[in-house]
Structure 1
Amino acid sequence: MSQLPVFDLLSDLRTAFSQHNQVILEAPTGAGKSTALPLAMLDWPEITGKIIMLEPRRVATRSVARYIAAQRYQVNGKALGEEVGYRVRGDAQSSARVKLEVVTEGILTRMIQQDPELAGIGMIIFDEIHERHLTTDLGLALALEVQQSFREDLAILAMSATLSGMALSTLMPEAISLKSEGRSFPVEVIYQSIIGTNSQRSQPWLEPMGAAIVALLEASASTPDRLPSHKSNAFLAQVTSFEGLADKSLLAFLPGQNEIRRLQTYLDARLDHRQYVICPLYGSLPPKAQDQAIAPAAKGVRKIVLATNVAESSLTIEGIGMVVDSGYQRQAIFNPKTGTSKLSLKRISQASSAQRSGRAGRLSNGLALRLWGQEEQGRLAKMDLAEIEHSELTNLVFDCAYWGVKAVNELPMLTVPSSRNETYAWQLLQKLALVDNDHKMTPHGRSAYELGCDPRLAHMMLKAKTLALKNSDAELVGLACVLAGVLSARGRVGMSVNILDHLKAALMGEAAQFSKQFVRKLNVKTVSLDNVIVHATPSSVAFLLGLAYPDRIAKARGNKGYQLANGTGVELPDNDPLTQSPWLVIADFQEGAQTAGRVYLAAPFPVALLTQRLGKGDHNTTDIALSHDLSFLVSSINYCAWNEVKGRFYSEDRRYIDKILLSKTAGSKPERTQVIQTLLVQIRSKGLQMLHMNDKVRQLQYRMKLAMILDTSEDWPDISDHRLLETLEIWLAPYLNDVSSLSQLMKLDCYQLLLNGCSWQQQQRLDTLLPTHWPMLTGTQVGIDYDDTGRATLSVRLQEALGMKESPRLAQGKLVVTMALLSPARRPLALTADLASFWQGPYVEVKKEMKGRYPKHLWPDDPANTQPTKFTKKKTLNAQK
């Protein structure tokens, strides 16, 4: 390990920490930053406290700790947990004696919240900070706060494979920056674009990927002369010419567990099990199976590791010399409208593709096969988005509230969070009474936070405990712990949607660990989880889930569809038994890309829980077994609307759970305020055509719009349709006190109502700048027609425009009027905004054509200097005499 590049920086690092307590280290793949560096630091006498090193993934946390511990065991005989240990959620090998503890980021956040002074800790190392997990960003922010407020002596080392696109130096402006060389062997990158042949499947590229892996394994173990058919395939010819791959194992990157399982099935049917062992690797895999994927393969056997992006960094898998990259990842995009995340299949970034390919060159020369074209590589995004920009922020915001800040940006964060997602998180915590309206943690919220789980589940368990004490029903809080354990566990057994079928899982594995942990924290000593599961009834499960997920109580619509209380549409799998339930409470679902969301865990929901208090009965025999209800979730309103058939307003007493209508009954005569509000709702729904918006009103709107543009010295009101609909309460509502029908609504003088929005001075100025009529020399007052394009048109018979040198100008000369010149029969002859040019040119042709048609009317040779008239030639001459 002393040959690793990071060893060349050890002296500089020690000097840097003697001068400052913040250091930023950029160290590419293979530098030894995750293993050799913390191993060396164990012998630095200047580090007097414990070293905490954060890894972004559980599998890497265990692997790194075990590797460093194994190295130290050769020196001092101390096994894992004595000098070097680790802690991840639900698993730990550590003790008070450890000097180096490798943890996942969420562990550090809890450590800081419980002890802001971090007593006994001398240094915090943030490894792979470029992955930008939510907990990484928050852990760094809290560590910087601790360093600034309580522990100036606390050392912080931020390490990343790349600093490109990161604002670390801005966040830590006084930090000393160092850069290490990487150490990786050459990796030959091959591009092969694959096109799926089966478009019926959700991932048509998956089987071609499997075929490429089989071909790669066969070609790497052969020579060109032994496989002549490969000469016609440029890809296989390139593989067979690459030396040293015959005994190498292969790492394949896929977007998720489902693709891993399907590809494993494909490969199992095509590879000799005596020569190959296939190992899946993903986050929720049991630790033992993860360790198997990382460990060296047996002699004479080649290992095929099918992994998600957990294998991208901080993890060296023994024997890997080949990488096959699908180029896909799954990204969870949170939607605050639905309150859940949508898992989308997306292309990886260029940075991610480089990390993946690099895994082939950790221990020797390697080969990486990218299953897309080389031209597409340049179109990939440079970097992945930080999770804080697109993920759900409820847990992060809960951490912030416990720390005492009222907004995430009060902390020194690397990236500003999504404002919509942060708003949703605060609102949810308020709804659960975990924070107050000022974002201050409530006593209930503080107790919930200390349970160390999802805020919804913590709220459910605490409420269950309160009710259990009141009703001497200890099994209720025990059941809450069981449900929380099942929902907290990452891997679930079975495919059933009904959560009641998963309760037995709380007696084994990770779910059992969580369930028992919650029982201990809630101090429920007399509860037997076995009895709780035996006595659990659908109604008690539904009640508890309703406490945790009130926004996900759902009503059936259609064959398998349901509407959640928050308005979201979801669907059960085909032929699922729960489709017979008129109501459900949904514990887990994902938003669909284009269709309704898919339900993963739910329970039948007795709607009576929302409408009446239920008597306590025998848990074994009575489906309704609760002495409490969820009626506090129901809101009642007096609804008023217009009956189109009967032509009158009516009212109803309605009861809702959020957006789901529970019941309605006829109400009393609507109040005047209700009628007015209903009228405004109708107008907003159907538009301003419900009002008497005649041409006079439209002309006023056009004039006012022009005034706003041409006369900026005055504060003209906006009376556009859009603005009028927005401000109905201001300009219309005060005049609706005597309106009791739609016909009366149409009789309102909207012109005068809108004019009332202008002061008397503005009305006078508007008439001066943009008059409704123009006085002709003949004495005729001709109307000016304004339109939405900003044009003013004067339609007048040509003979009345004689003698006009040019077109009229309005708004102090800023607007030229367009002249629509008409024949004596008031038919269009010409349209011009330049009257002088018209007289000199086009008029000649008009005169030729019209003079024979209208011989009794005046068609002078010099129109610009002729007296205008509104009569025939004879009447005009008589008038002149």
Structure 2
Amino acid sequence: MTLKKELPIYHILPEIKDTLRKRPSAVLVAEPGAGKTTVVPLALLEETWLDGRKIIMLEPRRLAARSAAARMADALGEKVGETVGYRVHMDTKIGPSTRIEVVTEGILTRMLQGDPALEEAGVVIFDEFHERSLHADLGLALALQAQNLLRPDLRLLVMSATLETEPVSRLLDGAPLLQSSGRTYPVETVYVPKPKAAPLESFVVEQITRLLPRHEGDVLVFLPGAREIHRTEAELMARGLPSGTYVRKLYGALSLGEQDQAVRPSPAGQRKIVLATSIAESSLTIEGVTVVVDSGLRREPVFSPRTGMNRLETVKVSKASADQRRGRAGRLGPGTCYRLWSMEEHGGLTDAGRPEILSADLAPLVLEAALWGAEDATELDWIDPPPAPALRQAGELLERLGCLRDGKITEHGKRVASMAAHPRLGHMLLKAAELGYAGQACCLAALLQERDPFKSGADLRPRMERIWSSLADSPRKLEANASVDRELLSRIVQNSRHLLSGLKSVIGERSQDLKPASCGLLLSFAYPDRIGRSRSGGKYLLSSGRGVRLAGEEMLSRSEYLVAASVEDAGADGTIRLAAPVEERELTEHQPALINEETAVYWDAGAGSVRARKTVRLGAIVLKELAYENSPQDQIAAAWMDGLRERGLELLTWTKAARQLQQRLIFMHRKLNDWPAAEDADLLTALEEWLLPYAQGVRSLSDLKKLHVEGLLLGMLSWERRQELDREAPTHIRVPSGSNIPVDYSNPDAPALSVRLQELFGMSATPRLGRGRVPVVLHLLSPAQRPVQVTSDLASFWKEAYFEVKKDLKGRYPKHYWPDDPLQAVPTNRVRPGK
């Protein structure tokens, strides 16, 4: 194959070359079919500014990277690995003469970390940048800083089919915007809205069945995910396909071989139906496609910083994605696109999709930024700054894994970053290697990085046993033994060996016993926040505080403890997809840093007493709870204060004298503002001042009730204040008869004295309290102690009311003394004076 000169991109090549000769950066927007991916790198090979250096081109997917390299090599009449090569995960074809390297995103990050100046490269091309993957944004941020600080001669070219260009241009210091039209044939768009009640797969199959007789060529069907692809395939096969028609699947978790089959042209006289996810939107040209059926849906992971978990959401595509999908039908000739939604619905779609950096787990990004030398990822330049909550959660996780300390990368973090795995799994590999479990940990990491090949329950142990035994098998025996998805199983085994090789390069050839390890223990290193304890019925509480559950009854449900490696984070309790049991003794022995011992002395409202407990915790999980012997007296006393605040001061023993003292204090505070407040609410607020110091020996409710409240309240007053209290708010008032009558302060605004009238003979004025500000309310009693008059003006009573009262009392109590002049009479507490 040779590249056709009529490709639209050729018309703009002079402008691209001229721009990169004068400027360090440029942004190229080229519509689908323009030829940018295969033409531009070859066109730049002989540019003088390149000075013999390499061209590094980033492709977001492995299949696209291999395909682009193959097409460019074919255009040169060479094999891949000569002038043009590629590097993808576990597959590299690079030779000594390679000038163009097509790499996937993680590879570019590793190249930049290994050589921040990218000395061997003259230009980095970011292809299909509109997909805005996390690693593409990270790669551009690192490459931009390398250009600014280390390599001003390094060129950066951002290429995209659909892209909001201004933010990218602004990030690249006003890089010129270049535009090329595409080469697409007319595509008829047919809107076929799916009824809400119709199952997606059945409706898709119905449309395929109808269109096959109407159109020639291959059919590309866009579905949200692998689950819908498998269901649609099954229903298509059940209905039966026309002779010479076959089905191919295309999604990211498939092997490269399976993906190649979907892209490869159909044999002569046959036609294929490709069931694909959004992987087929760009980069790939699927030969022979003339019809597109678009469900209008895609599945994307959304990360929750609160739980530290992903959930998959099925969302509507953007207008840009819909146009990309539609364009697949017109790459090689006129075509037709069936959209399974209405024109009205189309108008409501968003213009573009959400960049992954806004909804992804940012732990890998934060670790890479720290390895680069940025203590804070926000130090780098981004088109869309990463969200603060996700950055914070990522930093906390990496600190917990020992990869960061105070925001700076540790030696352990550097080793973790060198592993071809998520930081969780990299940490697990290194910890497992220290214990002699490297081989099994590599198996586990490889399994967790791929689609599940077994699909049987949530228990990881049977899967691990299968992969572990396969490591030692020959390829032929592996194929004979594998009953499900042999190619995927083979890839997992291959990745296990790849991880083990990388691990040995970090830890050296230390002895590995390959002894049986607890799958759950290994998982606990990667997911310390997902260690769970049973709450019965297949429900578990994770150490993070999140509730999760198993989807159904299985042996794993009987485990007291487990570690959840994969959780669908939706609903009140997330659903465990993959997990393994772990023993408490394993956690205490190998994960002591996760376990904290807390002591607590607290008021137990239910028991109405103070409890002293020692709790052993693993995050939110309580491992055990014991009595806290010899708990500090000050903590016990403080807990009793909590009890008093909850139950009230009635927990104390209030004598009549104590209550009167409180009432006297309340009176003084109300009438004399410089006195402390003493109502119940005030005393409860100030417990630490008047009660706590004297509660140090209290260990039980009976001890609390033994406290002398009157003495405690007096303890609030200085000696001078006590003297003033006795003077201005006395407990008793001595009346003319010589009796000491108690003062009633139950109404602090009007203290009262209940006294027989005869005992006040000779008293001309009402007694006054509170520095003379408050007259006492006199409740004047008959000889039988019954009230006859209430007054706070005794002088007026003698003058005006006494004689009327005297008439009544003299008739009822004739033996008693009723003088005509009470002010000159002798007071008496008897029937008559002297008797």
Trace 1:724-873 onto structure 2 (pairs within 5 A).
737=692
In structure 1, distance between residues paired with 2:263 and 2:606: 73
Deviation at 1:264, TM superposition (A): 0.5
- Give the structure 1 partner of residue 377 of structure 2: 408
- Give the structure 1 partner of residue 715 of structure 2: none
- Give the structure 2 partner of residue 717 of structure 1: none
Check if 1:33 corresponds to 2:36: yes
In structure 2, distance between residues paired with 1:731 and 1:332: 53
- Give the structure 1 partner of residue 608 of structure 2: 647
- Give the structure 1 partner of residue 777 of structure 2: none
- Give the structure 2 partner of residue 318 of structure 1: 287
- Give the structure 1 partner of residue 180 of structure 2: 180
- Give the structure 2 partner of residue 146 of structure 1: 146
In structure 2, distance between residues paired with 1:536 and 1:633: 23
Change (3 A) 1:673 1:450: farther
Trace 1:704-723 onto structure 2 (pairs within 5 A).
none
Change (3 A) 1:153 1:88: same
Check if 1:505 corresponds to 2:438: no
What is the number of equivalent residue pairs in this alignment? 646
Change (3 A) 1:736 1:282: farther
In structure 1, distance between residues paired with 2:576 and 2:625: 29
SS of 1:396's equivalent in the other structure is helix
- Picking from 568, 591, 605, the partner of 2:582 is 605
> Residue type matched to 1:515 in 2?
S
Identity %, equivalent residues: 38
Change (3 A) 1:402 1:736: farther
Deviation at 1:525, TM superposition (A): 7.9
In structure 2, distance between residues paired with 1:390 and 1:681: 44
- Give the structure 2 partner of residue 797 of structure 1: none
- Give the structure 1 partner of residue 521 of structure 2: 543
Trace 1:439-588 onto structure 2 (pairs within 5 A).
439-468=407-436, 476-490=437-451, 492-503=453-464, 504-505=466-467, 507=471, 509-523=490-504, 532=514, 535-537=515-517, 540-588=518-566
SS of 2:428's equivalent in the other structure is helix
In structure 2, distance between residues paired with 1:346 and 1:132: 17
Deviation at 1:95, TM superposition (A): 2.3
Change (3 A) 1:676 1:300: farther
Q: Is the 8 A contact 2:17 2:44 kept in 1?
A: no
In structure 2, distance between residues paired with 1:377 and 1:682: 63
In structure 2, distance between residues paired with 1:187 and 1:631: 63
Check if 1:637 corresponds to 2:598: yes
Deviation at 1:685, TM superposition (A): 11
Q: Is the 8 A contact 1:196 1:206 kept in 2?
A: no
SS of 1:368's equivalent in the other structure is strand
- Give the structure 1 partner of residue 83 of structure 2: 83
In structure 2, distance between residues paired with 1:426 and 1:675: 38
Give 1 or 2 for the bigger CA radius of gyration. Answer: 2
> Residue type matched to 1:425 in 2?
A
- Give the structure 2 partner of residue 56 of structure 1: 60
In structure 1, distance between residues paired with 2:641 and 2:415: 45
In structure 1, distance between residues paired with 2:646 and 2:133: 44
Check if 1:164 corresponds to 2:126: no
Q: Is the 8 A contact 2:124 2:157 kept in 1?
A: yes
> Residue type matched to 2:541 in 1?
Q
In structure 2, distance between residues paired with 1:49 and 1:645: 76
SS of 2:409's equivalent in the other structure is coil
SS of 1:188's equivalent in the other structure is strand
Deviation at 1:488, TM superposition (A): 2.8
Change (3 A) 1:525 1:110: closer
Deviation at 1:16, TM superposition (A): 0.9
- Give the structure 2 partner of residue 340 of structure 1: 309
Deviation at 1:130, TM superposition (A): 1.4
Task: Encode CA deviations 1:178-215: one digit per residue, 9 max, x unaligned.
Answer: 111122111111111112546xxxxx322112211211
Deviation at 1:526, TM superposition (A): 7.1
Q: Is the 8 A contact 2:58 2:103 kept in 1?
A: yes
Change (3 A) 1:286 1:273: farther
Check if 1:69 corresponds to 2:73: yes
Backbone CA RMSD of aligned residues? 3.2
SS of 1:522's equivalent in the other structure is helix
Change (3 A) 1:645 1:123: closer
Deviation at 1:165, TM superposition (A): 6.9
Q: Is the 8 A contact 2:597 2:614 kept in 1?
A: yes
Change (3 A) 1:581 1:17: same
Change (3 A) 1:155 1:646: closer
Change (3 A) 1:682 1:656: farther
SS of 2:212's equivalent in the other structure is helix
Check if 1:661 corresponds to 2:656: no
Q: Which runs of 4+ in 1 moved over 3 A?
A: 42-46, 489-494, 524-529, 668-687, 729-744
> Residue type matched to 1:290 in 2?
Q
Change (3 A) 1:69 1:674: farther
Change (3 A) 1:353 1:558: same
In structure 2, distance between residues paired with 1:31 and 1:672: 81
> Residue type matched to 2:209 in 1?
V
In structure 1, distance between residues paired with 2:76 and 2:379: 41
Task: Encode CA deviations 1:128-162: one digit per residue, 9 max, x unaligned.
Answer: 11111110111001111111111111111011223
Task: Encode CA deviations 1:79-109: one digit per residue, 9 max, x unaligned.
Answer: 0111111111122222232111111111111
Change (3 A) 1:248 1:309: same
SS of 1:34's equivalent in the other structure is helix
Deviation at 1:33, TM superposition (A): 1.0
> Residue type matched to 2:333 in 1?
S
Deviation at 1:509, TM superposition (A): 2.5
* TM-score of the two chains, using structure 1 as the length reference: 0.69
Change (3 A) 1:665 1:162: same
Change (3 A) 1:24 1:666: same
Unmatched tracts of structure 1, length 5 or more:
199-203, 221-245, 469-475, 614-628, 691-728, 748-782, 784-881
- Give the structure 2 partner of residue 375 of structure 1: 344
* TM-score of the two chains, using structure 2 as the length reference: 0.73
- Picking from 568, 573, 577, the partner of 1:596 is 573
SS of 2:587's equivalent in the other structure is helix
Check if 1:130 corresponds to 2:121: no
> Residue type matched to 1:86 in 2?
Y
- Give the structure 2 partner of residue 20 of structure 1: 23
> Residue type matched to 2:373 in 1?
G
In structure 1, distance between residues paired with 2:690 and 2:405: 40
Task: Encode CA deviations 1:793-839: one digit per residue, 9 max, x unaligned.
Answer: xxxxxxxxxxxxxxxxxxxxxxxxxxxxxxxxxxxxxxxxxxxxxxx
SS of 1:167's equivalent in the other structure is helix
Change (3 A) 1:402 1:680: farther
Q: Is the 8 A contact 1:285 1:491 kept in 2?
A: no
Change (3 A) 1:675 1:159: farther
Q: Is the 8 A contact 1:653 1:665 kept in 2?
A: yes
Deviation at 1:307, TM superposition (A): 0.6
Task: Encode CA deviations 1:412-443: one digit per residue, 9 max, x unaligned.
Answer: 11111111111000001100111102x11111
In structure 2, distance between residues paired with 1:116 and 1:541: 38
